Chains A and B, each alone.
Chain A
Amino acid sequence: MARLTLPTDEATIRSLRVGDFVELSGRVITGRDAAHHWLVQSFRQEVAPYLKDSAIYHVGPVVRKNPDGTYGFVAAGPTTSAREEPYQATVIGMYGLRGVIGKGGMGRKTLEGLKKFGAVYFHAVGGAAQVLAERVRRVETVFMLEQFGVPEALWVIEVEDFPVVVTMDAHGGSLHEEVERHSQQRLQELLGAAG
């Protein structure tokens, strides 16, 4: 199990390959549907420093507000990344992201973006909201909470030993494309063998 501290650099990211288990530590920013749409509309100066050389986490967390005004993540597993496919490569390029954390993988456009800009896709286990929330050590700040609501806001968090698997790398490798191809072949065999 490799350990990786965020923010990171291009050479480190390009050394990762599909199938690598990685534990992430450091600063990560969350963002999902509304955030991606917002990030590509214009360059968002206020959040840019948090995205540079770090990773965006596709998640809509359950959040507790503590009596002292701070926040805590109660449940925080990944959401389906495919919905960000139209925006992701642009966001990576615009803000200099080195990683995308999510589930289900992403398509061709993102894969090209990862290769071009030097970034990878980290797959977290969907539904594992408690295991992953436990790895969120601190909520640093939040953007667009009022406008987007709790699940869609951009939360800046600090994670420690956050477990992920590289399923799309910066060399054009994608586990999702492999599995899809294989299951397509099996499907054709099963449909050929009519009952």
Chain B
Amino acid sequence: MWQEPELTERFVSVIARASTQLPSDVVEALRQARDQEDEGSLARKALDTMLRNVELAQGAWQPICQDTGTPLVWIHHPPGVSTRMLVRAFTEAVKKATAQQLLRPNAVDPLTEKNTGNGAAPGIPTVHCEEWDEEALEVRLLLKGGGCENVGAQYTLPNAELGADRNLEGVRRCVLDAVHRAQGQGCAPGILGVCFGGDRGSGFVESKRQLLRPLHDRNPIPVLDELEQRLLREANQLGIGPMGFGGKTTVLGVKIGYLGRLPASYFVSVSYMCWANRRAGARISPQGDITWLD
């Protein structure tokens, strides 16, 4: 079984990959978006710059975006692994990655207003551990920047202003409103993680977990799959475009999940992920070998 120092090193590799190598499905979506925009338009120019940036970051193994975000990680582990050890190892990995400029020193103590300098602070990184029956460890990491985090939104239904009732049509209305409100601020074209149900905290966590799904991943629940495809189409009709310059591509993907709710509450939580959708997935075998996941 894994020792803490070797696991820390593996986690640094996962962080390096997330921060510097944009997943191929996202690169492909950006290319398609670029080809759709008019020659000479601000939108096309912005997408060209993004694609060039992705190449530079990939070649140099340097951060795609200087805001390396909040590291949000979900770890599945076999029985008998200490979750305290996993949290310690991952936190240490964040500090090492920060020292290597794979991450920016990105944690501020709000009481003293001091940057901690090493990337860690209470609640940063956020590590979710869950036991499973397999022998390997699975790590799924998302680096979520502050600009896109700031435009996330949570609605309570019914919402009279939006004409949103407690049903999927109500969810649709909230999501479109959130995209409109975000404009280009979250670094469009973005990817939307949505959760309906849950409480205020769990709803946002689930909406972020949805962002781990590759863009081509289809929702196994037919009505949600249909809603995801429809919202992708409709959000792109808003005309906000890359960086809010106007254009045909405002959103690259919509991913929807749900959680149980109380009779009194019906939350719709929308997490906006920037085009620099920095996610990485890895399986770590009991021998310590890494297999990269989509």
Q: Show the binding face of A for B, using Cβ within 8 Å.
A: 19, 21, 34, 59-64, 74-77, 79-80, 82, 103-105, 123, 125-131, 133-134, 148-152, 163, 165, 167, 175-176, 178-180, 182-184, 186-187, 190-191, 194-195
Contact = CB atoms under 8 A, between A and B. Distances in A.
Given A150-B104, A165-B42, A175 B245 contact: yes
Contacts of A190: 176, 234, 237-238
A195 B227 CA distance: 10
A74 B234 contact: no
B147 A126 contact: yes
Contacts of A183: 180, 183, 238-240
Given A61-B66, A183-B238, 4 more contacts: A61-B104, A79-B147, A176-B183, A179-B183
Interface in B45-87: 45-46, 49-50, 52-53, 56-57, 60, 62-68
B63 A19 contact: no
B42 A19 contact: yes
B245 A179 contact: yes
A64 B42 CA distance: 32
A70 B56 CA distance: 23
A60 B67 contact: yes
Interface residues of B, number: 57
B63 A149 contact: no
A100 B158 CA distance: 41
Given A64-B101, A150-B104, A151-B106, A75 B240 contact: no
Contacts of A125: 46, 49-50, 53, 243
Interface in B160-203: 162-163, 169, 172-173, 176-177, 180, 183-185, 187
The CB with the most chain B CB atoms within 10 A, among A104, A167, A182, A186, is that of: A104
Contacts of A194: 163, 169
A60 B105 CA distance: 10
Interface string B94-119: 00000001011110100001110100
* 9 tightest Cβ-Cβ pairs between the two chains A and B: A149-B115, A130-B56, A75-B66, A126-B187, A127-B276, A128-B53, A104-B185, A75-B63, A129-B66
Given A126-B147, A165-B42, A183-B239, A103 B105 contact: no
B218 to A, nearest CB: 20
A74 B65 CA distance: 10
A67 to B, nearest CB: 14
B150 interface: yes
Given A74-B62, A128-B50, A194-B163, A151 B104 contact: yes
